[in-house]
Structure 1
Amino acid sequence: MLVLEMKIQAKPTQYDAMDEAIRTAQFIRNKALRYWMDNKGVGKYQLSAYCKVLAAEFPFAHKLNSMARQSSADRAWAAISRFYQNCKHKTPGKKGFPKFKKHSRSVEYKTTGWKLSENRKQITFTDHNNIGRVKLKGTRDLNWYDIKQFKRVRIVRRADGYYSQFLVDADNRERVEPSYSEIGLDVGLNYFCTDDKGNQIENPRFYRRGEKALNRLNRSKSKKYVKSKKPQSKNYHQARKRYALKHLKISRQRKDHAVKLARCVITSNDVVAYEDLRIAKMVKNHNLAKSITDAGWYQFRVWLEYFGYKFGKVTVAVPPQYTSVNCSGCGAKVTKTLSTRTHKCKCGCVLDRDENAARNILSLGLSTVGHTGSKAWGDETSILADENLSG
């Protein structure tokens, strides 16, 4: 599946109609969640059938396309099933009980409720929300795909405008020449990542670099906020938008860095080993939470696995325990604090701490310790559990 995104250019009345559709989708999702809470044993199909009841009871819900209503119910069931799965597997900590949405930013249509123009430069939303025909701006050429390949269409609202996302049933895997090399990666805060050969990538720290401007924009927004006043002034909403645009820019910078680096790593190596980190637990350390979030390790891992699937390379996530402690030369344990950046062993091995960890990660990856491939992108790149890559 591919997700192709193009920006929407429309009239102010059409943007208002899109906001109404997003609010309706949020209402149906929350109503479906409440129905599940009040009725024991409700499943996915009962929630889909409940959408018809809501459409008959609320006129504004009837305006939304029937499949868009079902898609909103599917979102509620996704949260419910995730909660059930966490309870079944006894996931430590909170199990993620489903919550009501307060600020939704998207509405999803399935195979009906929209129609592309012949040149694929406009899209018409045919439900009763009166969105109508809007223009699509972007570099993507939708003419490459048959209309039957478009499985879903989303309207997504961001700080800089509205976007249309197309979920396309297409295989984008590519064949590349093997590089006959492997790499182990250790992520960190001083450097974004270090490989087993000692090469280091600088940590861009996009949030830290933009934090001063963010704080200034946040103060400006707070000064224009008047308590207990509804609605707020236009100056407040303009300041809020400037603040949101700065956050959006930083998130896009972080994503662009992760995508480019992951693609470079995957295309240059046949086997990529990295740590199977639990970021959600690591950010509980409030001294390092901001730096860990700013680094974007999880996003980098997601794109590593995606490009591994796309180019047919092997990606291996290994347990992170003792990768920094064990000596990559003799295997002995050398305890060290976080401030100790040099690994020194009795066997004479003297390496940078992160380089030593990267070598241990690669060694574990070649012995196929951990899981290979990606849960999100399929098992095409995985290998047999007992197969040794070094052979």
Structure 2
Amino acid sequence: MKLTYKFRLYPTKDQEKKLLHALDRCRFVYNKLLEELNKQEKIDRKILQHLIVELKEKYKELKEVYSKVLQYEHYRLFSNLRALARLKKNGKKVGKLRFKGKGWFKTFTYNQSGFKLIETNKRLDLLHLSKIGNIKIRIHRAVKGKIKQITIKHCSSKKWYACITAEVKEKITKSSNSKKVGIDLGLIDFIYDSDGNKIKHPKILDKSLKKLTKEQRRLSRKKKKSKNKKKQRIKVARVYERTVNQRNDFLHKLSRCYVKGYGFIALEKLNIKGMVKNRYLSKSIIDASWSKFIQLIQYKAENAGVDIIKIDPKNTTINCSNCKSKVYKKLYNRIHKCECGLEIERDYNSAINILNIGQGLSKFTPVKIEPLRELTEVSASSVVEAGSSLR
């Protein structure tokens, strides 16, 4: 099992120069490999691998970068080729790989060797990177397992991060939790589940929109190619980054809450790409980040031994969760009212149907309906202690 951690780096000015130099040299090697690849009629990986050795002899500054970091660009190139092949196989229109210009190459990777974490028993520990030195790093949670790879990332906000991949040799045991839940995702309430829990939509983008608009307006007024324009672009990037971090924090904590609380989770298999084509709802759907939430809850459930299933959402809102009869309603009708006497919120009814279908019980025993409880975004975020060590 592989786990990934992301920690903030605090390089000195000299270390930052070395990091930027390594980033630029990796970009140079990647572009040279792509140039050679485009010349080949038949792809020969050995020729491309040997090209790195030739480049190091020709360009002495490449020797200032750790050898395995440069070799990883060979792997990155063919990884990108495989990604294009998968897209083409799935019927997508694909072009050719592009050369990377400055500003479009933001990461380089130490694979297997050339790095070491050094504990200092202080607020900031140290990350040793070969050919760069000891960089201060904020390790806010313990790293489990053996570190296999470290990717250094330079963000648009000019912040540096270390993405650490560690391998844990632990057998995943099936969760002993017998509780089951169905989850309905929405825009008014982010989640309504079959236990009656309701999580309010945090609307993080709306909350930061005023600040973002203000900074973007300032950016548009700056003179082109000026230093002030560059400084303002960083400010805009930091507002974006803060928004993304807040959203990810909410999604991580909420997904962990459900994985810890249940042994079986049923979700909708939503066509989100199709849904965002609705110009009236697209911004709200993107802000909700349903795909991200589903991705997080899936990988956490797999690592925790929790069963998770995605079902077709067709008729989950229409069908009555008590008697299975169809009750048609407009989007603005928020109450499900059936002739059998059941009267509950439509999203609650949908969540129960999702659980029933997920268990294969859609034609048999209905889920017992409990009294409604409401959770706010505050209580959802407080499920995991500060630092989010359970991510």
Shorter-chain TM-score bucket reads: 0.7 to 0.9
Q: Which residue of 1 aligns with 2:6?
A: 5
Distance in 1 (CA, whole Å) between partners of 2:290 and 2:310 is: 13
Find 1:243's aligned residue among 236, 247, 250. 236
SS at match of 2:234: helix
Distance in 1 (CA, whole Å) between partners of 2:46 and 2:86 is: 18
* 2:113 pairs with 1:112: yes
Structure 1 residue 256 displacement after superposition: 0.8
Distance in 1 (CA, whole Å) between partners of 2:67 and 2:75 is: 12
Q: Which residue of 2 aligns with 1:151?
A: 148
SS at match of 1:326: coil
Contact 2:175 2:306 in 1 (8 A): no
Q: Which residue of 2 aligns with 1:214?
A: 212
* 2:121 pairs with 1:124: no
Equivalent positions of 1:235-274 (< 5 A) are 235-274=228-267
Note the alpha carbon deviations across 1:257-294, whole angstroms, 9 max, x for none: 11111111111111001112233333233322211111
Q: TM-score, normalised by structure 1?
A: 0.80
Find 1:364's aligned residue among 357, 367, 370. 357
Structure 1 residue 177 displacement after superposition: 7.0
RMSD between aligned alpha carbons?
Answer: 3.0
Would the alpha carbon gap of residues 197 and 114 (structure 1) be closer, same or farther in structure 2, given more than 3 Å must change? closer
Note the alpha carbon deviations across 1:184-206, whole angstroms, 9 max, x for none: 00101011011123321100010
Q: Which amino acid aligns with 2:29?
A: I
Q: Which residue of 2 aligns with 1:168?
A: 166
Q: Which residue of 2 aligns with 1:136?
A: 137
Q: Which residue of 1 aligns with 2:201?
A: 203
Structure 1 residue 101 displacement after superposition: 4.2
Would the alpha carbon gap of residues 259 and 118 (structure 1) be closer, same or farther in structure 2, given more than 3 Å must change? closer
Contact 2:259 2:301 in 1 (8 A): yes
Distance in 1 (CA, whole Å) between partners of 2:331 and 2:232 is: 41
Q: Which residue of 1 aligns with 2:70?
A: 69
Contact 1:122 1:134 in 2 (8 A): yes
Distance in 1 (CA, whole Å) between partners of 2:133 and 2:314 is: 55
Note the alpha carbon deviations across 1:10-33, whole angstroms, 9 max, x for none: 221211221222223233334444
* 2:178 pairs with 1:180: yes
Equivalent positions of 1:33-44 (< 5 A) are 33-42=34-43
Would the alpha carbon gap of residues 177 and 277 (structure 1) be closer, same or farther in structure 2, given more than 3 Å must change? closer
Structure 1, unaligned runs of 5 or more: 370-391
SS at match of 2:279: coil
Equivalent positions of 1:46-57 (< 5 A) are 47-57=48-58
Structure 1 residue 361 displacement after superposition: 1.4
Structure 1 residue 368 displacement after superposition: 9.7
Would the alpha carbon gap of residues 190 and 85 (structure 1) be closer, same or farther in structure 2, given more than 3 Å must change? same
Would the alpha carbon gap of residues 123 and 343 (structure 1) be closer, same or farther in structure 2, given more than 3 Å must change? same
Q: Which amino acid aligns with 1:352?
A: E
* Bigger mean CA offset, 6-15 vs 279-288: 279-288
Note the alpha carbon deviations across 1:53-98, whole angstroms, 9 max, x for none: 444454444543332123223223222212212332x34x545864
Contact 2:175 2:305 in 1 (8 A): no
Distance in 1 (CA, whole Å) between partners of 2:171 and 2:251 is: 20
Distance in 1 (CA, whole Å) between partners of 2:357 and 2:44 is: 42
Contact 1:47 1:73 in 2 (8 A): yes
Contact 1:270 1:313 in 2 (8 A): yes
Distance in 2 (CA, whole Å) between partners of 1:180 and 1:205 is: 33
Would the alpha carbon gap of residues 124 and 141 (structure 1) be closer, same or farther in structure 2, given more than 3 Å must change? same
Contact 2:175 2:263 in 1 (8 A): no
Q: Which residue of 2 aligns with 1:281?
A: 274
Would the alpha carbon gap of residues 16 and 262 (structure 1) be closer, same or farther in structure 2, given more than 3 Å must change? same
SS at match of 1:212: helix
Q: TM-score, normalised by structure 2?
A: 0.80
Structure 1 residue 2 displacement after superposition: 2.0
Would the alpha carbon gap of residues 170 and 179 (structure 1) be closer, same or farther in structure 2, given more than 3 Å must change? closer
Distance in 1 (CA, whole Å) between partners of 2:44 and 2:320 is: 52
Q: Which amino acid aligns with 1:216?
A: K
Would the alpha carbon gap of residues 350 and 80 (structure 1) be closer, same or farther in structure 2, given more than 3 Å must change? farther
